[in-house]
């Protein structure tokens, strides 16, 4: 085999001013002297600067950049780098050939930066992160397999992989980061997460854990109102999931590659992406989604407890079409609500662009959809009697779908009085406001009497409370009756409480203040005209 030569001498020969034969990966002189042989790595070429050879020496401990110094790792050879890049390129450019010749992607070992390792911590700190992930969040977004999470990070027989470390870091960001009022949500931990995520993405690492980590980044950015970053991140999730082939797993339950629990975890992650993509569009249904709408034959997530215990088989998966009259898990109900709200978004976007007789069409076309969304709420109430109704994710998603259709209907009518608004309020909207208003009032009174509010509320909860307040304000038109005003005050109180955890609640309050000022101005103008 022909030897590969470096263009420049190795570090040892350069320091000793010896003649180097530049044979890669180790020169003969270093081999004879039993010395470690390494070659400088040239930087990427740029059109505006000459090629420079960097002498890669370890940073001093007192260097301002020492936090980024990477711990000792097995050196990645250029041979493996080249094979990895080639295989990835073939996988995207000619996927059928990639499968036919059974080409495999080499495992790329990326070093974990010291600041990332410090944030993730020792095994006990990882267990603490996992305790939050599998308690607080498992109730509404159970996308991570507990067994795989622990085996990738706590297995003493194998080193931690970069994608597993990234997932733990992103879970920590979402679950434990509280931003004090007035502080920026772009904390040091957030900046570290974004930088490390970019490094892994640039390296070409593709795995389910990277996608799951990106989902948790999106959740943090949405909760802390970091826009448009949240919008870009959800779009990245969509592209990444499609590249992994997750969208192809939703309608196929036979001949699946890989263990069944891995397939289930992939489906759950894709349902999470679908839900977040639609959640972002509740404020503007005219925006194009990053993902295709789920179809009636998509397979739903299996029972949540069975997923946690790892005690399930592919026969337990059922499609949306067969699940509306069956008892399913919370995450499966959220998936069903995602399917229904996709239809609500489509109708709202279509009505917004329609010019002729659109209000009548919207009222008639959405009647069945609104009834189905409300049926989802009733199903959640029956299946989760032990939990507060307003905290169920599928309930919140369903209410958001109803409010979306209601807002579009009012927009077409251009309502300008309380009487007109009330007469054109859907019955499903009225019942939703009654339930949410009653729940908010009870929560407020319980808290004022010394009772705690439930911790770990999902970001969907704040969106639902905000939309409910907007609906109530629209009905009141600047002069609400006592009952409506009581609802508005309870909704705003809830947002006031939640803004200590999530900045988006504060943004919602500012929007509601602007809405109130707008109605007050219109009310004064109407009085002056009269």
Q: What pLDDT score does 136 carry?
A: 55
Q: What pLDDT is attached to residue 45?
A: 37
Which of 295, 321, 296, 299 lies closest to 312 in space, CA to CA? 299
**Model pLDDT, residue 189:** 92
Helix, strand or coil for residue 24? strand
234, 145 in Cβ contact below 8 A? no
Phi first, then psi: what are they for 247, rounded to 5°? -65, -25
pLDDT of residue 59: 31
Helix (H) / strand (E) element for 176: namely helix 162-176
HSE-up of 165 (CA within 13 Å, CB side)?
25
Cα(270)–Cα(321) distance, integer angstroms: 18
pLDDT the model gives residue 370: 93
pLDDT of res. 417? 72
Q: Which domains does the chain have, with CATH numbers?
A: 1-46 (4.10.240.10)
What is the structure's pLDDT at 389?
42
Residue whose C-alpha is closest to residue 299's, from 327, 339, 259: 339
Whole-number Å distance between alpha carbons of 343 and 373: 11
- Distance between CA 416 and CA 422 in Å, rounded? 11
CA distance linking residue 486 with residue 145, whole number of Å: 43
pLDDT along the chain (530 residues), means of 10: 68 80 78 75 40 30 35 44 67 69 68 90 87 70 88 78 93 76 81 95 91 97 94 97 94 75 94 97 92 95 85 85 76 93 92 58 79 87 52 86 92 78 90 92 82 72 94 86 91 90 92 83 57
Q: Coil, strand or helix: which one is 17? A: coil
Q: What is the pLDDT of residue 361?
A: 59
**Helix 459-476 to helix 260-280 angle, to the nearest 10 degrees?**
30
What lies within 8 Å, CB to CB, of 317 at 6+ separation is 253, 264, 267, 299, 300, 302
């Amino acid at each position: 085999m022909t030897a590969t030569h470096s263009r420049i001498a190795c570090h040892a020969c350069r320091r000793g001013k010896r003649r180097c034969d530049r044979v890669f990966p180790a020169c003969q002189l270093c081999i004879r002297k039993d010395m470690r042989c390494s070659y400088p790595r040239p930087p990427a070429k740029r059109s505006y600067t000459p090629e420079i050879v960097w002498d890669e020496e370890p940073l001093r401990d007192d260097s301002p950049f020492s936090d980024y110094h990477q711990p000792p790792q097995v050196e990645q050879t250029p041979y493996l780098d080249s094979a990895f890049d080639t295989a990835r390129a073939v996988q995207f450019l000619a996927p059928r050939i990639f499968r036919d010749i059974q080409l495999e992607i080499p495992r790329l070992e990326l070093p974990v930066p010291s600041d990332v390792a410090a944030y993730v911590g020792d095994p006990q700190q990882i267990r603490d992160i996992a305790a939050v992930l599998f308690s607080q969040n498992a109730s509404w977004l159970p996308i991570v397999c507990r067994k795989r999470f622990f085996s990738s990070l706590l297995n003493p027989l194998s080193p931690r992989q970069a994608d597993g470390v990234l997932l733990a870091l992103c879970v920590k960001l979402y679950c434990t980061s509280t931003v004090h009022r007035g502080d920026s949500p772009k904390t040091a931990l957030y900046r570290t997460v974004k930088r490390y995520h970019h490094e892994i993405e640039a390296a070409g690492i593709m795995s389910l854990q990277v996608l799951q980590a990106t989902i948790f980044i999106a959740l943090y950015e949405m909760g802390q109102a970091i826009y448009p970053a949240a919008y870009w991140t959800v779009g990245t999730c969509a592209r990444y999931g499609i590249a992994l082939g997750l969208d192809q797993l939703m309608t196929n339950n036979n001949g699946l590659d890989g263990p069944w629990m891995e397939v289930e975890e992939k489906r759950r992650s894709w349902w999470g992406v679908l839900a977040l993509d639609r959640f972002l569009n509740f404020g503007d249904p005219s925006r194009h989604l990053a993902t295709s709408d789920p179809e009636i034959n998509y397979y739903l997530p299996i029972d949540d407890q069975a997923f946690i215990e790892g005690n399930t088989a592919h026969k337990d998966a059922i499609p949306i079409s067969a699940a509306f009259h069956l008892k399913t898990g919370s995450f499966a109900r959220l998936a069903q609500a995602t399917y229904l709200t996709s239809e609500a978004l489509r109708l709202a976007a279509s009505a917004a662009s329609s010019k002729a007789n659109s209000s009548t069409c919207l009222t008639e076309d959405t009647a069945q959809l609104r009834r189905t969304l409300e049926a989802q709420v009733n199903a959640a109430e029956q299946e989760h009697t032990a939990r507060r109704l307003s905290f169920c994710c599928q309930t919140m998603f369903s209410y958001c779908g109803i409010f979306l259709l209601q807002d579009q209907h009012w927009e077409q009518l251009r309502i300008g009085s309380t009487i007109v608004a009330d007469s054109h309020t859907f019955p499903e909207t009225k019942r939703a406001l009654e339930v949410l208003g009653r729940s908010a009032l009870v929560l407020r009174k319980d808290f004022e009497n010394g009772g705690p509010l439930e911790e770990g509320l999902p970001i969907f909860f704040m969106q639902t409370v905000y939309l409910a307040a907007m609906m109530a304000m629209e009905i009141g038109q600047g002069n609400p009756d006592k009952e409506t005003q009581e609802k508005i005050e309870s909704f705003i109180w809830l947002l006031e409480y939640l803004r200590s955890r999530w900045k988006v609640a504060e943004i919602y309050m500012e929007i509601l203040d602007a809405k109130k000022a707008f109605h007050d101005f219109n009310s004064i103008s109407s009085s002056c005209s009269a």
